[in-house]
Amino acid sequence: MNGVARMKFRRLDGVAVGVRCPYCNKPIHFVKTVKGHQMPCEMDLLQGDGVKTLVTSSGVTTRKAGPEVWGYEPHWAFCKFGQKGGAK
Ligand SMILES: [Zn+2]
């Protein structure tokens, strides 16, 4: 009956739901960075541990994010997405 009303909850603010990585088919979402880029990120919101690189929901990329930082890990840390030619 109310299926249409329920679907509204699938759309989060500024977040595309249901996007998958074209390389590994893992569910990802895009975070708009402060520079205006769309950064593919993992789905899980994580707390920094002093090692991880996290992208906050406001689009700030923080390397070695401490426990005061909550954000998403960039997906390219886990797969070939965006790493073409980038030997490091
Ligand atoms: Zn991937």
Compute the distance from residue 28 Cα to the ligand 1 centre, in Å.
8
Which residues in the chain show pLDDT less than 70? Answer: 1-17, 81-88
Q: Is position 88 within any domain?
A: no
pTM: 0.70
Compute the distance from residue 16 Cα to the ligand 1 centre, in Å.
16
Q: What is the pLDDT of residue 7?
A: 43
Q: Is position 36 within any domain?
A: yes
Dig out the tokens for 37 from the structure.
């880029």
Compute the distance from residue 43 Cα to the ligand 1 centre, in Å.
12
Domain count, the chain: 1
Structural domain harbouring 53:
3-76
Q: Is position 87 within any domain?
A: no
Q: What is the pLDDT of residue 86?
A: 43
Which of 10, 6, 42, 1 is closest to 24 using CA atoms? 42
- Phi and psi at 76, nearest 5°, equal -65, -10
Q: Is position 82 within any domain?
A: no
Q: Is position 83 within any domain?
A: no
Q: What is the pLDDT of residue 83?
A: 57
Q: Is position 40 within any domain?
A: yes
